[in-house]
Amino acid sequence: MSDSKLKELIIRRLGRDLYYKAKDFPNNNINIITKQNDPLFIRVIFFDNERDFHLIVDEERKEIFHDCPSFLIYSSVDKKICIHFLKLLLLLNESKALDIFKEIDNYEFTSEDFGSQRKSTNFQILANVCFKNDNDIDGLNYLSKAIIDQSQCASIIQKYLKNSMEKNLFIEFFEFLQEGYQNQWGTYFKKYNHLIKQAFQKLINSLDKYSFYNLLRIINSLDGIINKKDFSFLLQHIDKFEEMIHSSDLNKKYFAIYFIKKNYNTLIEISTQFKNIIPKNQLNYLKKLILNYFIEEIENFIVIDKLILMENQFKVLGISENQYKDKFEDYKQEINELEKKVYLKKFAFLKLLMHKYNVKITKVDFRKKRNVYVVNHEPENLKNPTYIYIIKKIGFYGINNSTIKSSDLGINYFIVKELFLDDFSKFPDIFYYKTQFWGDQDYQIKARDGISLLSKSKEYSYNIDKHYTNERVMIIEWDLAKKPIKGSIINAYSSQIIIPDQNSPLFHDLKPFDLCYCIKSPVKIEANIIKTVNVITKSSFKDAIKSVSNGMEFIEGYYPLSLIKSVINKEINPFKANKLVTNNPNRRFIPHYTKFIKEFRKFLFKFIEEEKDYIFDKLKQNVKDRVDQILILLNLSNKLNGMNLPYSQIIEKTIEQNLTITSFKDALIKEIHKYIQNILRESEIGATKIFNLKKMKNTPFIKYSDKILRIRKLEFQNTPIFKSNNYYDLSEIKETYYGAKIANLMGLGKKQTLSLKGYNKFNELAKRLNLEIKLIQK
């Protein structure tokens, strides 16, 4: 097969290591943006170690554009070829991949690191796809990434502002402006003053639609831009502000009073009417209200970011520190302790996995190289997939996962100490990071504290509302996070980091490896790399497989959901898929994997049922290797139980007749009967050894059992044992069915002769089977 040809060529030129690394690179971290097949032109973004890398292959111009470190640093072709490029080859149609790989030395390798028009184009295409699918937030995110050199990106800036304004996405709108001003894009924004005005007007008319937290975020962005903007247009909104100040809606009141106080000097220049617009009693009332709210939120255990935003805005309102500082400091301390607890839980889970799956505690020889450490993992451990899982979760990366940052060693110190026997006392930087996060206290990791993170085998059923269509919902497999984010110990990796929304009632019940139905579009984006999604419900394997086969999108983790898609798209045949699922090396630590396989096979059988002709055509091309698969496909495996026949020969003979699949099955069964009857007719010595009557019990071929038994008895009784001197020669009788059986019972192995004692035993066993021995004296 050409598949192995490509593999062979890659391994021969670049080594096994790189090949397998590329093969194992997670499919989810690859985003194919556009693809044209002949000649190949493909744009791809890889998400690797929290960074984006672009890859464009242009077969016609013989050009490969890429920007990952190994591609940038090295000059020789062999070194420039990285796992990203190889992964792409492995995803392509095999003959196309071979064409390109064989020609690789004739390709031009290009990479522009800054101001790249091509990267910008990639992001713009992605953004358009998102907008088309009503995923505006991701769309905006990609648009902002597309702005690589602002002087050439006026149209993108305009598109961003226009789209976010029209869709009422004011968090995104004002955050973008704030970042833009920080990046000195002020001059480019001038042209869009009308859009900014329009957005501001729309915002003050929709303040009550935001959560208070989001309002705080918008205000924070506004604070970052207000000094740089001309707000003279606010003159026409004085009445509106006055109305808001007296409103009973907290959002409106807060926004109006805060905004005026914050921009007091600018506003009174616009109009003196702003001077006494806030009555003292309204201000005092708000101060009291907001301070109480702050204290309540502490008791509600609210996200710390919200309180930090509030605190920043307290100064403007004139709320003094001593009214809340002590409580807030205690709370920060408490949150810090909680974060530690989340880490300790993660460590306990990893330790549990260590115990459960025989990870050896080893010395790996930590060596410092600039600001990272390099180790040699113990070879036995490297063969254990659980070990790889664990070390990746504490921050090992790079070739052979041999590199780790000092800070990761420090933060993960307590589990690192469980995994490795090395002496860390000579590495002060690790202790520096450890103390920064953990203080001086030492913690003992107990494996049993991790049990609560083991996913239970509970059957969830997919009874989410009908209106959650494939357009709105996707499946996410949660994974243990490398570092907990905002209290979440799990995340899903895709082109960004996704964590579950804290407001979900399931938040504290989600475990690594859980499959869940989630709302597709992100709830919000933080720092442009962290998304939160709304979890609807957990999913059973059965439902997940069904949904994926119905076209639902998913973020894959350790359960190979993408194989479902590949089977349906006929990129891979069901038998190969079955093999891959069954031989998954990670299966030992993936919870309830056997159950997953069971459901996956049900899906395969259904697919085979529906697509018999397609599969039959595939199989006909290579009978020898696919005998088992053909028998499974024809649903014959059980019917042929207990018979060790040369099926490939029989199938080949039948296949020559060029039949459809249904008549093929009949013809094949006929051919098998013919073969058996022939064997029985000729009844050569020992020929019936190929039948196991016990196993044949429930098959249609059991009808031959009488005949088989008769042949067996006859051949035994007609085959002599020769006696000479005091030795009994079994060489002929051992060829018969029963002769072999008795010899086996006696454990004779290759032994051909017996003494009298042995013979007597042989005779006794034969008698038990009602068989006479034909003894001939020589």
Is the CB of 25 or the CB of 433 nearer to Zn ion?
25
Hey, is 550 helix, strand or coil? coil
CA dist list (Å): 612 to 617, 636, 662, 763: 9, 14, 9, 54
The values of phi and psi at residue 457, to 5°, are -85, 75
What is the CA 354 to chain-centroid distance, rounded? 21
Q: How far apart are CA 210 and CA 255, in angstroms?
A: 11
Which segment (67-75, 284-292, 556-564, 616-624) binds Zn ion by CB under 5 A?
67-75
Shortest Å, Cβ 59 to Zn ion: 18
Shortest Å, Cβ 84 to Zn ion: 3
Hey, is 543 helix, strand or coil? helix
Shortest Å, Cβ 21 to Zn ion: 11
Contact at 8 Å (CB) between 494 and 628?
A: no
Among 82, 416, 473, 634, binds Zn ion (CB under 5 A): 82
Q: Confirm or reject binding of residue 84 to Zn ion (CB under 5 A).
A: yes
Shortest Å, Cβ 114 to Zn ion: 18
Q: Closest Cα partner for 395 from 363, 360, 433, 423? A: 433
Give me the DSSP letters along 699-760. SGGGGGHHHHHHHHHHHHHHSEEEEETTEEE-TTGGGSHHHHHHHHHTT-TT--EE-HHHHH
Q: Confirm or reject binding of residue 44 to Zn ion (CB under 5 A).
A: no
Is the CB of 51 or the CB of 751 nearer to Zn ion?
51
Which segment (62-70, 511-519, 563-571, 728-736) binds Zn ion by CB under 5 A?
62-70
- Here the tokens at position 767 are 């008698």
Is the CB of 82 or the CB of 525 nearer to Zn ion?
82
Q: Confirm or reject binding of residue 64 to Zn ion (CB under 5 A).
A: no
Q: Strands 727-729 and 488-493: what pairing?
A: unpaired
Which segment (84-92, 95-103, 293-301, 373-381) binds Zn ion by CB under 5 A?
84-92
Which segment (69-77, 165-173, 315-323, 378-386) binds Zn ion by CB under 5 A?
69-77
What is the CA 145 to chain-centroid distance, rounded? 24
Shortest Å, Cβ 638 to Zn ion: 49
Shortest Å, Cβ 460 to Zn ion: 39
Q: Strands 488-493 and 497-500: what pairing?
A: antiparallel
Shortest Å, Cβ 70 to Zn ion: 6
Q: Terminal CA-to-CA distance of the chain, rounded, Å?
A: 59
**Bond prior to 39 in cis (omega within 30° of 0):** yes
Contact at 8 Å (CB) between 752 and 730?
A: yes
Shortest Å, Cβ 492 to Zn ion: 23
Contact at 8 Å (CB) between 613 and 659?
A: no
Q: How far apart are CA 259 and CA 257, in angstroms?
A: 6
Contact at 8 Å (CB) between 454 and 591?
A: yes
Among 68, 353, 545, 561, binds Zn ion (CB under 5 A): 68
The strand pairing partners of 374, in sequence order, are 367, 403
Size of the site for Zn ion (CB under 5 A): 4
Residue whose beta carbon is closest to Zn ion:
68
Tokens 């997940």 sit at which residue?
A: 544
Is the CB of 27 or the CB of 435 nearer to Zn ion?
27
Which segment (66-74, 258-266, 285-293, 693-701) binds Zn ion by CB under 5 A?
66-74
Q: Confirm or reject binding of residue 535 to Zn ion (CB under 5 A).
A: no
Q: Confirm or reject binding of residue 119 to Zn ion (CB under 5 A).
A: no
Q: Going residue by residue from 388 to 407, which x/- string records binding to Zn ion, judged by CB under 5 A?
A: --------------------
Q: Strands 524-526 and 530-533: what pairing?
A: antiparallel
Which segment (83-91, 172-180, 429-437, 618-626) binds Zn ion by CB under 5 A?
83-91
Contact at 8 Å (CB) between 445 and 347?
A: yes
Point out which residues bind Zn ion (CB under 5 A): 68, 71, 82, 84
